[in-house]
Every structure is written in structure tokens, then in C-alpha cells.
Amino acid sequence: MAKEMHATPLLDQLESGPWPSFVTGIKRLAQDNDMMVDLLGQLETSYRTRKGYWKGGTVGVVGYGGGVIPRFTELKDKNEKALYPSAAEFHTIRIQPTPGFHYTSDLLRKFSDVWEKHGSGLLCLHGQSGDLMLQGCTTAAVQPCFDEVNAMGFDMGGAGPALRTASSCVGHARCEHSCYDEYAAHRQMINAFLDDMHRPALPYKWKFKFSGCANDCSNATQRADEAVIGTWRDDMKVDQEKVKEYVSTKGRKYIIDNVITRCPTNALALNDDDTLDVDNKNCVRCMHCINVMTKALAPGDDKGVMILVGGKRTLKIGDTFGTVIVPFMKVDTEEGLDELEDLSGRMIDFFAENALEHERCGEMIDRIGLANYLEGIEVDIDPNQIDVPRTNPYVRMDGWDEEVAKWEERKA
């Protein structure tokens, strides 16, 4: 039996209604956990005053420089004594889950048991980067808790100016659209640069995300410094008999309105015999028609990935999307994945050496220009990297002939 509960009239209002309530969960924990009793006290205070009361600090485990998010309460009385002392330290431990967030019931129970023993009993499944987060640990309990998790075969995630935990869409495990082995790429890329995760020394964060196709279910384009997105370069697969079935069950109007006219490059046409014409040269692999007719249409056989770089959230120049630097790369062999690893290594190295403090890769590229960046990471320029060519003539172009010669050489 824990200490007496604080009155929480505001939080109590979040226990009604049909959606699952985290307040009910925290209250359940508070029945035998003083930390959660006091956490409710602090959270209720925030709800009342509309202010946050956590500050950071430095907490970690032996051997690592990151992965723990320290939180100390700022709600103190005149004598600097915490108003909610049992929740005065409320750190988060970030753990890297499996790619695709797969668990056995046994694994979920093991995490619950360890966390019941060492911490608050509150978990986040999962954070925006893709971490399993154990939320609410005292400074003293961080090390023994991590030791047990680590012994289960799980490692700390990233925090601070470091390589961060990555995430992957469900991909190969359960999706017919998947164009490469997302989990294999995810595991190899992170594990190759793990030192940059556990010993934060980059200018700022570096996030990888892996999506199997242009549907981009891991939000790679908008959230990742390096987005690895699946695509294919041969013809899309069309099962004309299945197309006819769709037309006969859904009707021509439905197919014209929802498939043909929605193609962003007008690469589709419905023939008079209800088969489909695909202008594969103009198909941009956007996935829409495949999403609508999953039985009839599929990505081609010659699959691979494209690499986008520079996605991030608002701080500091405004949100940016990743932009293409490599339009296609095969990663279905060991050599292919090694090539991706080499490229990623050059990108991370260049970032480490050239970004300013607290500058994300996309901001650095804005500052130095994409062409300079590409030269720095030894990636050839390619018209797929732009939407449109330059529109402003204020540029010095006295190296034109040399650049044309390079283009001819690359073409040869």
C-alpha cells in the first residue's frame, strides 16, 4: 500500500469516455507505488497552473554517454524541498525495440517485471523516434534496471547529439508493397554506427527511418535525416484478369475516378476491354493504384531503395522534408547493404565534420548548397535530385565546360 493519494479533480475528468485512459493506468500503479502517487500530484499541478515542472540534468549508465532522459522536479518549497518528493527524480530510459515493433507476450511480461522492480511501471510504446521508453526511474535505479534489460538482449537507444534509435514500417514482415528488407537494413545501419549512439559526439541528432515503399509508413521523408525508401525500376506488375475483376465488381466509373485519373503523371489508361495500360516510363512509383487494387497490381521485380536526406521538425529554420540524393540502389545482397553502409558512413562523417553545433543535416545543406554537399559525400549529381532546375541567373558558371565533361563522362 502506497502513501495517500493526492486529490486530482482535473485528471479525474480524463477517466471518463470510451478511449483508454492513461490516468486510470497511472492511478492503478499508484496503489502500490509512491512515485506514481507523487507523479499524479505534480501532473495535477500542471493541469491546474498550465505549466511544466521538469528540468533536465545528467544521468547515465556506465559505459554510455546517452540514452537516459534525466528529469528532476522543479516543484519545490522555499527550502528547496520537493513538493512531491517520491517523484523528484523521474528519468526515462530509452530502449531499442525490434525493427517493426514485434513482441512475444513473454517479452512484454519480462519488460513489465523488470520495470515493476526498478521503476514507476509506466512505459511508452513507443516514442516518435521508435524507442521503447521506460518512464519514471530514480537516478539510483537507472543502472540496475538497464543491466537487467541489457541482459535480456536489449540495448540503450539514442538521445542528445547522437545517432538516434531508428524505426521501420511493418515491411517485409507483413506487407506486399515492401521493396526491400527494411529490418535488415535498419539493423545493419544502426549497429554499424552504434558508437555514435552510445557516445554522443555529433553536432546534433541523426535519425534513420526505413520505409518499404512510397507510402512511407515510417514517416521517413518528414522525420529522418537519412530516409531509406523502397522502390523498383522495372515495370509494375499487372494481372489483367484481376484488373477486369475489379472493373466488373467496382464499375468503370469507380476505376476511372479512383485509379486512372488519380495517377499523378497520367500514366494509366483503361482499355475498352477493361484491361489496364501502364506507361511505366512515366510512372513515379507513387503506390496509389497499387493501394487501390492490391490484388491486381504490384511493384516490379527489380526492387531497391532511394535515399532522401535532410528531413526534420521545426527547430530552427522550419520543418524540412528529406530530398532525394540517390534515386536507386540495390540492397538485396550483402554487397548492396554494405554499399548503403558506406554511403551512410560518408554522410554521417561529413555531418560530424561540417555541421555547426545544434544544426541538423538539412539545415547544413541549406547553408552550403546541395551540390557542395554531394561533392563532400561523393555522390554524383542527378536530375532526380531536383523538382525543377535553377530559376535565378545570379550564379557564377565559369566552370560550365568542365561540368559538361563530367556529365558526359558519367553517361559513358
Partner 1 sequence: MSAPRMPDETGVPDWEPYLHPALKKNYGQWSYHERPRNGVLLHVAKSGDKVWTVKAGSCRQMDIHTVRKIAQIADDYADGFIRFTMRSALEFMVTDESKVEPLIQACEDAGFPVGGTGPSVRMVSHTQGWLHCDIPGTDASGAVKALMDELFDDFKNQDMPNHVHITSSCCQINCGGQGDIAINIQHTKPPKINHDLVANVCERPTVVARCPVAAIRPAVVNGKPSLEVDEKKCVACGACFPPCPPMQINDPEHSKFAIWVGGKHSSTRSKPSFHKLVAAGLPNNAPRWPEVGEVVKKILKTYKEDAKDWERMGEWAERIGWPQFFEKTGLPFTKYHIDNWRGGRASLNASAHIRF
Using omega within 30 degrees of 0 as the cis cutoff, is the peptide bond preceding 316 cis?
A: yes
Beta bridge partners of 277: 269
Q: Are residues 75 and 45 in contact, defined by beta-carbon separation less than 8 angstroms? A: yes
Binding flag, residue 112, partner 1 (CB under 8 A):
yes
Q: Are residues 156 and 199 in contact, defined by beta-carbon separation less than 8 angstroms? A: no
Binding flag, residue 287, partner 1 (CB under 8 A):
yes
Q: Which of 78, 316, 390, 396 binds partner 1 (CB under 8 A)?
A: 316
Binding flag, residue 392, partner 1 (CB under 8 A):
no
Minimum distance of partner 1 from residue 399's CB (angstroms): 27
Binding flag, residue 232, partner 1 (CB under 8 A):
no
Binding flag, residue 354, partner 1 (CB under 8 A):
no
Phi, psi (5° rounding) for residue 327? -75, -25
Q: Which of 234, 277, 301, 319 binds partner 1 (CB under 8 A)?
A: 319
Q: Are strands 208-211 and 226-232 parallel, antiparallel or unpaired?
A: parallel
Residue 400 CA from chain centroid, whole number: 39
The three grid cell numbers given for residue 401, joined into one nine-digit string: 565546360
Q: Are strands 208-211 and 167-168 parallel, antiparallel or unpaired?
A: parallel
Q: Which of 3, 252, 262, 406 binds partner 1 (CB under 8 A)?
A: 262
Identify the DSSP state of 195: H
Is the sign of the CA dihedral 227, 310, 156, 74 positive or negative? Answer: negative
**Helix axis angle, 361-368 to 334-354, nearest 10°:** 70
Q: Applying CB under 8 A, which part among 63-71, 269-277, 378-386, 390-398 lies near partner 1?
A: 63-71
Binding flag, residue 71, partner 1 (CB under 8 A):
yes
Identify residues 206-225 at the interface with partner 1 (CB under 8 A): 214-223
Q: Applying CB under 8 A, which part among 49-57, 336-344, 370-378, 394-402 lies near partner 1?
A: 49-57
Q: Which of 63, 335, 380, 386 binds partner 1 (CB under 8 A)?
A: 63
Binding flag, residue 94, partner 1 (CB under 8 A):
no
Phi, psi (5° rounding) for residue 320? -130, 150
Q: Which of 7, 140, 176, 372 binds partner 1 (CB under 8 A)?
A: 176
Quote the CA–CA distance of 55 and 374 in Å, as a whole number: 39
Binding flag, residue 373, partner 1 (CB under 8 A):
no
Number of residues that bind partner 1 (CB under 8 A): 124
Q: Are residues 338 and 268 in contact, defined by beta-carbon separation less than 8 angstroms? A: no
Neighbours of 316 (CB within 10 A): 9
Q: Which of 88, 123, 276, 377 binds partner 1 (CB under 8 A)?
A: 123
The residue among 295 and 410 lying less far from partner 1, judged by its C-beta, is 295
Residue with cell 545570379: 394
Minimum distance of partner 1 from residue 217's CB (angstroms): 6
The residue among 9 and 399 lying less far from partner 1, judged by its C-beta, is 9
Q: Which of 2, 5, 46, 278 binds partner 1 (CB under 8 A)?
A: 46
Identify residues 128-167 at the interface with partner 1 (CB under 8 A): 128, 130, 135, 146-147, 150-151, 153-156, 166-167
